[in-house]
Amino acid sequence: MRWDIFCKVIDNFGDVGVCWRLARQLAAEHAADVHLWLDDPAPLTRLAPDFKVFPVRVCPWRNPLSFGDAADVVIEAFGCELPENYLQAMAARARPPCWLNLEYLSAEDWVEGCHGLASPHPRLPLVKYFFFPGFTKKTGGLLRERHLLAQRQAVLPKHNALLAESPGSLIVSLFCYDSAPLSALFAAWAAEASPLVCLLFPDKPLTAVHATLGAPQDANGWRLGAAGQIRLVPVPFLPQDGYDELLAACNLNFVRGEDSFVRAQWAAQPFVWQPYSQENDAHLHKLTAFLQRYAADLPEQARATLAAFWREWNGAGAAISRLWPELRGQLELLARHGKNWRAHLLAQDDLASALVKFCATRV
């Protein structure tokens, strides 16, 4: 079956990151013939420098679109709006394609009610379905490759070298937007005697650290604290699979947006989330809704600490100095909790399988 996935890069990596994972998985696990239409291939070459070795055809999205036939299944990622000549080709098919809008991820309650809703096209004999990823069985689920956890067991020893280099240190990965209250976080870390290594990703995180601390002391980055016990180390942008592995090897992950946020949950280590900022603080509603699900089974103290820390990370950060030692004290418990949460998520269909099931009766 032919699948066309359309993706426009708004900014950052998340749009392409989600679409690439989906395309790759549909081809690998569901024998789908997938074309991924991208208006900007630049982020893909960073997320998946080897994308050409995969059985997914990456095609340039230009207007008007140059294509053969409309596919059996058409995915419009994140409301990116299909080209008019492609819509016409869809409508001209004897049997119209199964057409879906893949929505952004949210844990809010309303998602269950909207998942799978149909919307007839105002002019053409076409119906578009809204497909919502999510955290419950009444949603489309989350992206999760079949061999994700097994593969990780095989590659983890490679990263253990990193942990061995810094015995006793807390290993943290930092992937954030430039609005994150970094100076408050670094001050809280520096006030503690225990060693910590923070891996900084390029672009926004690294730029924000430069803006906060100035130039690095040397090629290895920055050292903070009275005894230099805090190391901030720039690391290269990794291919997606490598990033996934790194998350599993860290003791704490700062993640953002959508896809790294999901990957942190598969990594099952404690994490702090910075959602993509939206108008009217919609992202803070998303944060609250997710915490309500994720933290529901935590003991009250841990739940309160986690929620307060996440809110500070998405705000001015004034209380981070007080909250950091509390969060650090809860990390072991949060790591155990992460495994339980992952087990809970594993009980639902993954997003690619859910899409295949959804489309099976509609093509």
Residues that bind ligand TRH (CB under 6 A): 10-15, 17, 47, 104, 175, 201, 237-238, 240, 243, 256-261, 276
Phi (first) and psi of residue 308, to 5 degrees: -65, -40
Q: Least separation, in Å, of the C-beta of 13 and ligand TRH?
A: 4
CB 273 within 8 A of CB 290: yes
**CB neighbours of 1 closer than 8 A, spacing ≥ 6?**
32, 33, 72, 73, 363
Q: Which is nearer to ligand TRH, 96 or 275 (CB)?
A: 275
Tokens linked to 183 = 């100076």
Q: Least separation, in Å, of the C-beta of 127 and ligand TRH?
A: 26
Q: Which is nearer to ligand TRH, 7 or 302 (CB)?
A: 7
Q: Least separation, in Å, of the C-beta of 62 and ligand TRH?
A: 21
Phi (first) and psi of residue 198, to 5 degrees: -115, 125
Q: Least separation, in Å, of the C-beta of 16 and ligand TRH?
A: 8
Q: Report the DSSP beta bridge partners of residue 86.
A: none
Q: Which is nearer to ligand TRH, 90 or 174 (CB)?
A: 174
CB 7 within 8 A of CB 16: yes
CB 112 within 8 A of CB 134: yes
> Catalytic residue positions?
15, 258
Q: Which is nearer to ligand TRH, 10 or 42 (CB)?
A: 10
Nearest C-alpha neighbor of 237 from the set 24, 14, 44, 47: 47
Q: Least separation, in Å, of the C-beta of 86 and ligand TRH?
A: 22
Residue 178, SS3?
A: coil
Tokens linked to 194 = 């225990």
Q: Which is nearer to ligand TRH, 201 or 271 (CB)?
A: 201
